[in-house]
Amino acid sequence: MLVMKQEPRKNDTIATFFEGKKETQYSGIPYKIRNAAKHGATGLLLVTDPLHNVAITAQGYLWNSLYMKGQGNPSYNICEENANIPAVQVNRDVINEIFGSVDSLRTLQRKIDESMHPGSFVVPGIEIDLSVSVGKKEFPSSNVIGWLEGSDPVLKDEFIVIGAHYDHIGVSPIPNHLNDSIMNGADDNASGTAAVMAVAKAFAASDKKPARSVLFMLFTAEERGLIGSDYYTKNPLFPLEKTVAMINMDMVGRNGNDTVYVIGQQYNPDLAALVNATIPEAGLKKEEMMMDLYRSSDYYPFYKKGISAIGLTSGLHNDYHGVGDNPDKINHVKVQKIAQLAYKVAWQIADSNNYYTIIEH
């Protein structure tokens, strides 16, 4: 099966069938893989939609959502969870072989955008031979976890997780004008790591302990595919069925003094309501993210296990995954405010007997 990336009418300024320029779950490659498998596909070819993109070269990605994460060797999670089919991105040569030309595919896409009806059809005389191989390398790495036991005799056996990833992506193949090639990751995600440590310090310093227990987690290998958080949810130190909620901080130190994005609120309405109500108390204002990034950080493995999980972030910037993500650009006031928000929300969860529903993604 061959599908185009993104979704129809992606440049609409007004939401019609989808949500205009704001990406929905249906544009995500993992969703397309699962949907293809559901409809009987044994393999999936992905092409960059030519109507909205000039460059349609197959791209290399560094993690399992196939969301582009900078330069590096092409690496895919070829079998999406619950959809055991290989998926690869193909280039102009393959498009020409199947459709005759890129213009033919562009014309087909234009018809789909105009009619908003599927354009699926069988291509006669085309047979695809798809071969994939997997190379395995082992690198030792660890999650770092702190545990604050709750004070209630019963509720102390329930947990809230406050997390962030501490890894980054290493060295750039292209040095900057100062011949600096080290990508320090000050915002991504030293800022979130520092915020988790600050929240842990605040909980530990409090004279009163919350009813529930609190886990402070710093995850490894987020940049390589949420590996650390995924490992924990499959090998938990404490029962996942007793884990009530998860708050994650990823890139919390840029873009002004007082704005914050809440990731995953549409899938976690109860927890989102608590977060949104607490935002003004931390001196922050919520902004809406145009992209659906809910599969992009360490909250997602928890959500997949049925745990309500929210992400806090100050958003993307031009230094994202580059050599310019340096400590001198971090807004310490911003980190402090988002850490205070996480603390206030986490305390309310940990010191109550409330539970939080999720909506399937």
**Whether 89 and 205 share a structural domain:** no
DSSP, res 83: B
Between strands 144-148 and 213-219, the pairing is antiparallel
**Whether 36 and 153 share a structural domain:** no
**Whether 75 and 13 share a structural domain:** yes
**Whether 18 and 151 share a structural domain:** no
Residue 120 domain-assigned (yes or no): no
**Whether 81 and 153 share a structural domain:** no
Residue 341 neighbours by CB under 8 Å, 6+ apart:
260, 275, 278, 279, 281, 282, 284, 312
At 81-101, the pLDDT tens digits run 555 788 888 888 888 888 889
CA dihedral for 18, 19, 25, 26, sign (positive or negative): positive
Single out the residue in 67, 96, 115 at which a domain terminates: 115
What's at 18, amino acid-wise? F
**Whether 155 and 94 share a structural domain:** no
**Whether 181 and 99 share a structural domain:** no
Residue 93 has a pLDDT of: 87
**What CATH code is carried by the domain that includes residue 277?**
3.40.630.10
Of 243, 278, 228, which Cα lies nearest the Cα of 150? 243
What separation in angstroms does the CA of 295 have from each of 125, 288, 311, 350? Answer: 37, 17, 11, 25
At 98-128, the pLDDT tens digits run 888 989 999 999 999 888 888 888 888 888 8
**Whether 211 and 305 share a structural domain:** yes
**Whether 172 and 102 share a structural domain:** no
Residue 137 domain-assigned (yes or no): no
Residue 129 domain-assigned (yes or no): no
Identify the domain containing residue 101 by its residue range.
Answer: 2-115
CA dihedral for 311, 314, 315, 317, sign (positive or negative): negative
User: Whole-angstrom Cα distance, residue 167 to residue 180?
Assistant: 19
At 151-197, the pLDDT tens digits run 999 999 999 999 999 999 999 888 888 888 999 999 999 999 999 99
Tokens of 56: 């349609």
Residue 358 domain-assigned (yes or no): no
Residue 250 domain-assigned (yes or no): yes
Residue 57 has a pLDDT of: 67
Single out the residue in 95, 115, 135 at which a domain terminates: 115
Residue 130 domain-assigned (yes or no): no
Rounded to 10 deg, the angle between the 332-350 and 269-278 helix axes is 130
Between strands 259-263 and 285-287, the pairing is parallel
Residue 236 domain-assigned (yes or no): yes
**Whether 150 and 8 share a structural domain:** no
Residue 132 domain-assigned (yes or no): no
**Whether 294 and 188 share a structural domain:** yes
pTM of structure: 0.74
**Whether 102 and 243 share a structural domain:** no
What are φ and ψ of residue 165, in 5° steps? -95, 145
- The total number of structural domains in the chain stands at 2
Cβ contact 134:78 at 8 Å:
yes
Question: Could you tell me the mean pLDDT of each successive run of 10 residues in the chain, 361 residues long?
Answer: 85 70 76 87 87 68 39 41 74 88 91 88 85 76 97 98 96 84 95 98 97 98 92 96 98 96 96 98 93 88 96 95 94 98 98 95 68
Residue 55 has a pLDDT of: 67
Of 201, 186, 209, which Cα lies nearest the Cα of 342? 201
Single out the residue in 66, 95, 115 at which a domain terminates: 115
